[in-house]
Structures are given as C-alpha cells and as structure tokens.
Amino acid sequence: MIKQLTDFEYSDIKISISVIDNASPNDSFDQLKKHLPEPVHLFLAEANEGYAAGHLLNLKDAKKNSADYFWVLNSDIDLLENVLPELLKASQELEDQAIVGSVTLSDESTIDFGGSEWNPNDTKFHYNDWKGKPMGELLKKHPKYYRVQSLEGSSLLIPMNIIEKHGFMKTDFFMYGEETDYCLRLDEKGIPSYVATKSQLIHQNEGSLMQNSNAPNIKDYYRRRNHLRIQKEHFGMSSLEAFGYPDGVIQNLKTCIKGKNTKGYYFALGSIHCALNIKGKKI
C-alpha cells in the first residue's frame, strides 16, 4: 500500500505519509525500516492500544506538518487509481464540512463496503446495505457521492478543521466500531458522512489479524461488545438488552461459565462487558 502511494502521480497534491507499527510482537518494525521509501515517517508505538490510538500517533505527525486533511488508511488494502483525488474532490465540493470515505471492493466489480443510505427519520442502525452488489449499480445510482449513516475505517478523509473542532475517534473501543461511533457522533454535531463512489480500493479484510492464532476469539469479542455499545450509546438499547443479547441473560452467563474458548463464549462475554460498560483492551 505504501509503495502504491509513492508510485501514484497526484499532480499538485502534497502527501506526507506516516506509518505506525502498533507494537508488533515480531521484527516488523525493523523490516519496515529496511523496505519503506525515504519520505515515509515511521513510528513505533510503545504498546498496542488499538486502531484509534495508533492513528492518533499519525495524527500528531499530520498536525506537525500543518496538514489540511488527515487520510486514515488500513494496511490491508490495494489502492485503485484516483482514490485520493476523488476523496478530495468530494470533500471540497462539500466545503470540507463532512468526512468522506471510499468504496471498498472484494474484487474489481463487487462491493465489500458501500455504506447505507442516510435517512434523518431512521432510528435503526444500517451499516452496509451495498455489500455484495455490483459496483456499476452503485455508480449508476450515485455517480459522485452520497450521504451515509457511517463509513468504514479502511479509507477515511477527514478535514483537519473538523478534528480541531470536534476531536478524533475514541480509543477505548480498541478495535472495531470506533469509526462508526465517530461518524455518528459527528453527525449529531452537524458533520455528515459521505461515500465518494469513484474512490475505490480492494480490501483484504482483517489482514492485520491473519498471523494471530487467537484472531477469531479477538474478532468475535470486540465486534459483539462494540456493536452493542454503539446500539446503546446511539440507538437507545438498554444495558439489560445488551446483557441478554443474543441468547438471554441466563444463557449468556451459562455460556461464559461453561463454554470458554468457544465462539459463543466470546459473543456472550462481549454482551456482558457491554452491559457493564467495560471498555478498552480486554483480550
């Protein structure tokens, strides 16, 4: 991904690239130092405090370089042409008063993430109604950009003026959901989210977890806990409802007591921790 950024011709766009090694438990940082091109700013986090905390270190570098925009990228993506210019074009047409994300594809014509249509009267959470549909269908309906409930964190363009006024993503999600929460909080302050439909990339999905043998457990726990947290904080779910999701209070407690290291155990544990407002890095 970094090589792609340095290879693309972006005409008069000045790009400063910063990369965070989020305290990898192997020799990743040394490998990055060997292979990254010279203009890249490379940083090593003291501890892995999660997705948002890692990007906060990148954000400090962006502020130091007096950036106008902060472009958040995952490491497990392949950029397609004009991904950044299309984000910038959309942001500028929206007067830099919105955050703008890319469409992610599972292949060159199939949508992995395309968002969901925004409806001011909707009291339910809709994340990704375009998943699995043809890219051509989305472009036909929305040839430039369209407003969504929330964006995916693999490619987000945020004007720095928004960050300076409203802050950044919360770090206590650790992983999964922090960008969704950020979009929803900004929307409440009058800052909408848009998908720029001509800004496209291929997303491998959870590429950073592929080498971790405990990845399914980590994923199941944080996805469950943080999804329910979003439902509680933005859509009115009660702590009791979170405690009982998805199988009921008693069953969740039984699963946690008897079923350790199973998929159901981590789902149930996520529900219980959400109900108890337990946040941050826990497994």
- Least confidently predicted of 10-14, 100-104, 170-174, 275-279: 10-14
Give residue 115's pLDDT: 95
127 and 44 co-located in one domain: yes
228 and 178 co-located in one domain: no
Q: Which domain holds residue 251?
A: 215-275
pLDDT tens for each residue of 203-241: 886 555 545 555 668 899 999 999 999 999 999 999 999
CATH number of the domain within which 47 lies: 3.90.550.60
198 and 228 co-located in one domain: no
56 and 192 co-located in one domain: yes
- Tell me, yes or no, whether 281 lies in a domain: no
Residue 73 DSSP one-character state: E
105 and 231 co-located in one domain: no
12 and 104 co-located in one domain: yes
- Tell me, yes or no, whether 260 lies in a domain: yes
Q: Which of 209, 229, 264 is the last residue of a domain?
A: 209
- Tell me, yes or no, whether 224 lies in a domain: yes
Distance CA 70, CA 205 (A): 22
Give residue 108's pLDDT: 85
Distance CA 5, CA 168 (A): 24
43 and 73 co-located in one domain: yes
196 and 258 co-located in one domain: no
pLDDT tens for each residue of 166-202: 999 999 999 999 999 999 999 999 999 999 999 999 9
150 and 224 co-located in one domain: no
> Which candidate, 128, 120, 126, places its Cα nearest to that of 101?
128
Give the type of residue at 85.
P
- Tell me, yes or no, whether 103 lies in a domain: yes
pLDDT tens for each residue of 53-110: 999 999 999 999 999 999 999 988 888 888 999 999 999 999 999 999 999 999 889 9
Give residue 156's pLDDT: 97
- Tell me, yes or no, whether 99 lies in a domain: yes
> H/E element holding 127?
none
146 and 185 co-located in one domain: yes
pTM of the model: 0.91
- Tell me, yes or no, whether 280 lies in a domain: no
204 and 229 co-located in one domain: no
| DSSP string covering 21-68 | E---SSSHHHHHHHHS-TT-EEEE-SS---HHHHHHHHHHHHHHTT-S
pLDDT tens for each residue of 133-156: 999 999 999 999 999 999 999 999
Query: Residue 27: which pLDDT band, with cuts at 50, 70 and 90?
Result: confident
Distance CA 144, CA 198 (A): 6
139 and 96 co-located in one domain: yes
Into how many domains does the chain fold? 2
- Tell me, yes or no, whether 282 lies in a domain: no
- Tell me, yes or no, whether 107 lies in a domain: yes
